[in-house]
Structure 1
Amino acid sequence: MLKVLAHPVRICIVKGLLDKGECNVSHMQNCLDAPQSTISQHLQKLRTAGIIEGRRNGLEIYYSVCNEKVAELINVILSEDK
């Protein structure tokens, strides 16, 4: 799990999903200012690792964090305390 979260874009995606609850690729693309294909590749790695899951709504897929331990990990990784 740490290996998958080792990329800054994936940490940003997971942090955003934890803050927002769920969102689709278009929203992530606007927030991260990255191409849709790049975000989709990162989402696939996160999904394969069991960190996120997708919920289809028509043509869109809304992603959310499905692993409760990830929230703890992200808080530790992004912690300001030393």
Structure 2
Amino acid sequence: MEISNTMEEFEEHAEILKAIAHPIRLCIVKGLIENGSCNVSKMHSCLETPQSTISQHLAKLKSAGIIKGERSGTEISYYVDNEKVKKVIESLFD
């Protein structure tokens, strides 16, 4: 068995998988891919989860390099900025 990937690549992929492994984060990422950018208030109404909880999950996704946010005044709209994650989500929900 020959493995052409480096351990660093496996670690990077594992971190991405860990970040999206939570049901709420998976739902957030899937929703952002399907519907485009979204703010916390809209996610709150869709997920019926406290805004503070959603914000914590968004911070985890952001630190993992999965999403980015664009500020407009006091509002931040989040979007998925990772093509690998988009492919993973597409394959999961194909």
TM-score w.r.t. structure 2 length?
A: 0.81
Which digits, 9 at most, give the CA deviation of each residue in 1:19-39, with x for residues without a partner? 111000000000000000000
CA distance in 2, matches of 1:7, 1:75: 17
Q: How far apart, in 2, do the equivalents of 1:69 and 1:9 lie?
A: 19
Query: What residue ranges of structure 1 are gaps of 5+ in the alignment?
Result: none
3-state secondary structure, aligned to 1:56? strand
Give the alignment partner of residue 23 of structure 1, picking from 38, 41, 46.
Answer: 38
How many residues of Structure 1 are paired with residues of Structure 2 in the alignment?
A: 79
Q: CA deviation at 1:76?
A: 1.9
Larger RCO, structure (CA 8 Å, separation 6 or more): 1
SS of 1:54's partner is: strand
Q: Which runs of 5+ in 2 are unaligned?
A: 1-15
- The normalised TM-score by structure 1 is 0.93
Partner Cα separation in structure 1 for residue 83 and residue 30 of structure 2: 13
Matched, 1:59 2:78: no
Cα distance per residue 1:37-67 (max 9 Å; x no partner): 0000000000000000000000000000000
1:41 is matched with 56
State yes or no: 1:76 paired with 2:74: no
For residue 38 of structure 2, give the secondary structure of its aligned residue in structure 1. Answer: coil
Q: Percent identity?
A: 59
1:10 and 2:25 are equivalent in the alignment = yes
